[in-house]
Structure 1
Amino acid sequence: MTNQQLNVGAILTNYIEAKRIRRAALARKMGILLQSLLSYQKKASLQTDKLWELSHALEHNFFADIANQLPTKYTTTINAQAESQQKIADLELEIEKLKIEKEVLMDIVKAKL
C-alpha cells in the first residue's frame, strides 16, 4: 500500500454527505443506534460485515470504492468483464431472433399483397 492510508469512515462520511442522507433514517433502516452509525464514521477501519450492511442499506458498493484505490496492476479473482460479455452475447442472440421475426413478418406482408 502506498503512503496514503485507507480511511473507511471518511469514505462513508463523504458518501453520506454527498447524497444528503439523514443519518437517523439510515440507522433506523439498519436497525442500529444513531450513535453506532456515528462511530462508524469516526473509525479509519470498519469490520467487513458492517461495511456489507452499509452497502446494502445504501445500495452502494463501498468495496468497489475501496478497490478502486488500489493500483490497477493488482490481481483479482473476479472477471470484471464477464457480466458485460454475457450481456453482449444475450443482446446478439436477441438481435438474431428479431431478424428472423422481421423476415417472417415481411414474408407475411408480401404474401398479402
Structure 2
Amino acid sequence: MIKSKNNIDTGKLIERVQLQQNRTYREIEKAINRPPTSMYQYIRNSSIQTGILIDLCYAMKYNFFQEIANKLPNEFTKTDKDAEEKLAQKTAYESRIAELEEENKILKVQVDLLMKIKG
C-alpha cells in the first residue's frame, strides 16, 4: 500500500497511549471485540480504518482524532466552537420567538373576546 507523504503514523500514536496507560494488547482487544494479535497489527501499521480507531478511542478513553487534528497545520479549517454555540443559541432564540408568537396570537384572541363581551 502506498502511504501519503503527509501520513500521521497512527500505529505509533496507539502504541504510545497503550504504553502510557500500561494496558496489555489483549485487554484492549477484548474491549473492542477483536481477535488476538489485532493490536499488534494496528501498532505495526502506520494507518488504520477510522471505525477501528473510534473503537480504540472508546476502549482506551483517548481521543486519537483530536491528537491527529492537532498534528495538522494550523491554517487548516477546524470546528469553530464559538460558531457551534452561536448556532445553538440562534436555534434556541428562534424556538422561543415561535413560542412567544403563538402565545401572542392566543392572547390577541382572548383580548378580542373580552372586548366583545365588555363592549
Do these two structures clear the TM 0.5 threshold for a shared fold by scoring above it? yes
In the alignment, the residues of structure 2 paired with residue 58 and residue 29 of structure 1 have an alpha-carbon distance, to the nearest angstrom, of: 9
Residue in structure 1 matched with residue 116 of structure 2 by the alignment = none
Residue in structure 1 matched with residue 69 of structure 2 by the alignment = 67
**Residue segments in structure 1 that go unaligned for 5+ positions in a row:** 87-113
Query: Alpha-carbon deviations, 1:4-52, whole Å to 9, x = none?
Result: 6410000000110111112111111111112112101111000011101
Residue in structure 1 matched with residue 34 of structure 2 by the alignment = 32
**Residue segments in structure 2 that go unaligned for 5+ positions in a row:** 87-119
Q: Which runs of 4+ in 1 moved over 3 A?
A: 80-83
Does 2:57 align with 1:55?
A: yes
Larger Rg: 2
Residue in structure 2 matched with residue 92 of structure 1 by the alignment = none
Residue in structure 2 matched with residue 18 of structure 1 by the alignment = 20
Q: Residues 75, 31 of structure 1: CA spacing in aligned structure 2 closer, same or farther, 3 A cutoff?
A: same
Shift of 1:80: 3.2
**Once superposed, what is the RMSD of the aligned Cα atoms?**
2.2
In the alignment, the residues of structure 2 paired with residue 18 and residue 82 of structure 1 have an alpha-carbon distance, to the nearest angstrom, of: 35
In the alignment, the residues of structure 2 paired with residue 54 and residue 72 of structure 1 have an alpha-carbon distance, to the nearest angstrom, of: 26
In the alignment, the residues of structure 2 paired with residue 8 and residue 81 of structure 1 have an alpha-carbon distance, to the nearest angstrom, of: 29
Percent identity, please. Answer: 24
TM norm structure 1: 0.64
In the alignment, the residues of structure 1 paired with residue 82 and residue 20 of structure 2 have an alpha-carbon distance, to the nearest angstrom, of: 29
TM norm structure 2: 0.61
How many pairs are equivalent? 83
